[in-house]
């Protein structure tokens, strides 16, 4: 077993545990990273094992969960995949792609995962800790747990909660979500299921998502402190009071309440949607309202349709066909609608998708595993064994010349086909990254492999102005900062609220 290197001057690791999934661990870890950065520390975000299809690519082309990238930005350091050494990307049917230290290692079945992947996963975790501590000798690890730490049927094979806390002798914060109800039982029950050694690591309690007057919880706070012997270090208010829906840091919990907007965008809520953070910058546009459409629902009359990325492109495409959503999209295009696809969404817009190796789960369907796409963009996609993972700085051609940042994260390569080659135009000087067909009625069909395209303020506004022009709306200024600046404001707002309501000293005092 690899032992992480520990500098005698390194501060004690902190760990954020939750009484359940969705208790708010990720946001709390993000806030702690920014608060400690303000104090002059070097916070090192770390989640040993994460399960997510919302990914980021680091500077070396390694895959990691977007939530750890967000925490790294809050810490003021560059995200690296050592911060999330084990990433599981669900593929459906109890199967997940396994990523170790940024590299794809294979496909795991949930029933045999811990038998086949536990040892190598723990090795990746300890190597990730070593890498971080070697790079940042005086940094403090800010560990994020996963789910509940006391799932009794899983504790013996836990990779990322109490095993890690004990291994690093971390000072742990237990977060409970009062919005779910039963907050006292959540906390008392969790503590009761800990061993004495594990119980000694818990140094404080935090109540999350409290609505109303916090003074009304004084009696409950006193009771918890008396019964547990632990300080309640904070009672955080319901975050939607601080982050309006367009500013929320968690896209899937948003409820868009914009009463007025000049543009409406329909985003296809694919069953295996991935990298939904691509849409965050559009959510933040005050003139734009986004609504989500699941297969089987009415697409309505939006100003544009966006098909995002997918972890199971072909299966999600088949759902679009079987639900009748494909006919709705085609009818929308025929009537002059705009459609934009990102990564797997772009592949779906194409004429054919060819999967000879069964990368997308099509093995055995026919000799060539050729799948028909929506046939709205004349491209063909061929899935090969290798995966493209890289950060990019590219020169855009469409809708206007500008430089953009983003990243590639996909299986499959696409190319224009057939007689329509003269109609389809590349979006970038790098012609492999995306294409567009502009129609005579000022509508377009376009797609790109570049995740993060909407993060680029100038490009995003130019894209929106195409739609606005068609509606006869005034152009928006393209002198717009990139979304990273907006994200900084949101992180600071989160940290401000955290500092106002939480006292970290019981965790920081050794």
- Domains in the chain, please, with CATH? 14-237 (3.40.50.300), 245-482 (3.40.50.880)
CA torsion through residues 298, 304, 310, 315, sign:
positive
Task: Say yes or no to pLDDT of 201 above 50.
Answer: yes
Task: Say which residues have a Cβ less than 8 Å from residue 351's Cβ, sequence separation at least 6.
Answer: 372, 373, 375, 377, 378, 379, 380, 417, 418
Query: What SS3 state is found at 327?
Result: helix
Q: Give the pLDDT confidence score for residue 366 in this predicted structure.
A: 55
Q: What is the mean pLDDT of the chain?
A: 91
Distance in angstroms (rounded) separating the CA atoms of residues 202 and 501? 19
pLDDT class of 180 with cuts at 50, 70, 90? confident
Catalytically active residues are 343, 451
**Omega of the bond leading into 399 within 30 degrees of 0 (cis):** yes
pLDDT class of 29 with cuts at 50, 70, 90? very high
Any idea which of 91-100, 126-135, 152-161, 394-403 has the lowest mean pLDDT?
152-161
Q: Which residue, 311, 288, 317, is CA-closest to 454?
A: 288
Percent of the chain scoring above 90 in pLDDT: 79
The DSSP line for 204-220 is EEEEEEE-S-GGGGHHH
Q: Is 275 left (phi over 0), alpha (psi -120 to 50) or beta?
A: left
How much is the average pLDDT of 205-216? 91
pLDDT class of 368 with cuts at 50, 70, 90? low
Q: pLDDT tens digits for 244-298?
A: 333 333 443 444 556 678 999 999 999 999 998 999 999 889 999 999 999 999 9
pLDDT class of 440 with cuts at 50, 70, 90? confident
How much is the average pLDDT of 72-80? 98
Q: Is 102 left (phi over 0), alpha (psi -120 to 50) or beta?
A: left
Please give the model's pTM, rounded to 2 decimal places: 0.92
């Amino acid at each position: 077993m690899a032992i992480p290197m520990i500098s005698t001057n390194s501060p004690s690791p902190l760990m954020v545990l939750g009484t359940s999934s969705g208790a708010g661990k990720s946001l709390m870890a993000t806030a702690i990273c920014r608060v400690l950065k303000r104090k002059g520390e070097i916070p090192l975000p770390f989640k040993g094992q994460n399960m997510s299809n919302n990914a980021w690519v680091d500077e070396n082309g390694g895959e990691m969960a977007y939530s750890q990238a967000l925490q790294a930005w809050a810490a003021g350091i560059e995200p690296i995949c050592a911060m999330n050494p084990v990433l599981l990307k669900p593929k459906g049917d109890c199967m997940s792609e396994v990523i170790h230290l940024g590299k794809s290692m294979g496909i795991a079945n949930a029933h045999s995962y811990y038998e086949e992947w536990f040892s190598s996963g723990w090795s990746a975790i300890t190597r990730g800790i070593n890498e971080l501590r070697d790079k940042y000798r005086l940094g403090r690890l800010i560990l994020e747990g996963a789910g509940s730490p006391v799932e009794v049927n899983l504790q013996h094979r836990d990779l990322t909660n109490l095993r890690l806390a004990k291994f690093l002798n971390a000072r742990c914060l237990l977060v409970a979500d009062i919005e779910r109800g039963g907050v006292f039982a959540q906390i008392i029950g969790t503590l009761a299921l800990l061993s004495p050694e594990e119980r000694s690591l818990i140094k404080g309690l935090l109540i999350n998502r409290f609505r109303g007057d916090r003074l009304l919880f004084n009696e409950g706070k006193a009771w918890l402190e008396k019964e547990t012997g632990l300080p309640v270090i904070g009672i955080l208010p319901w975050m939607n009071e601080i982050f309006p829906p367009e500013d929320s840091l968690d896209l899937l919990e948003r409820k868009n309440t914009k009463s007025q907007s000049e543009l409406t965008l329909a985003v296809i809520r694919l069953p295996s949607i991935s990298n939904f953070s691509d849409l965050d910058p559009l959510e933040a546009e005050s003139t734009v309202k986004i609504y989500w459409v699941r297969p089987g629902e009415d697409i309505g009359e939006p100003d544009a349709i966006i098909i995002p990325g997918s972890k199971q492109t072909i299966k999600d495409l088949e759902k679009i066909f079987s639900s009748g959503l494909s006919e709705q999209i085609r009818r929308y295009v025929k009537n002059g609608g705009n459609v934009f696809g990102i990564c797997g969404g772009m592949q779906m817009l194409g004429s054919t998708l060819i999967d000879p190796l069964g990368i997308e789960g099509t093995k055995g369907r026919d000799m060539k595993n050729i799948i028909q796409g929506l046939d709205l963009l004349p491209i063909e996609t061929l899935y090969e064994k290798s995966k493209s993972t890289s950060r990019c700085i590219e020169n855009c051609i469409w809708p206007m010349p500008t430089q953009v940042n983003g990243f590639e994260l996909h299986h499959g390569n696409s190319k224009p086909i057939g007689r329509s080659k003269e109609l389809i135009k590349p979006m970038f000087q790098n012609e492999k990254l995306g294409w567009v067909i502009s129609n005579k009625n000022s509508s377009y069909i376009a797609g790109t492999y570049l995740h993060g395209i909407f993060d680029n303020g100038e490009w995003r506004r130019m894209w929106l102005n195409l739609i606005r022009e068609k509606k006869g709306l005034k152009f928006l200024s393209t002198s717009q900062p990139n979304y990273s600046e907006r994200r900084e404001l949101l992180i600071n707002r989160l940290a401000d609220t955290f500092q106002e309501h939480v006292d970290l000293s019981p965790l920081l005092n050794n």
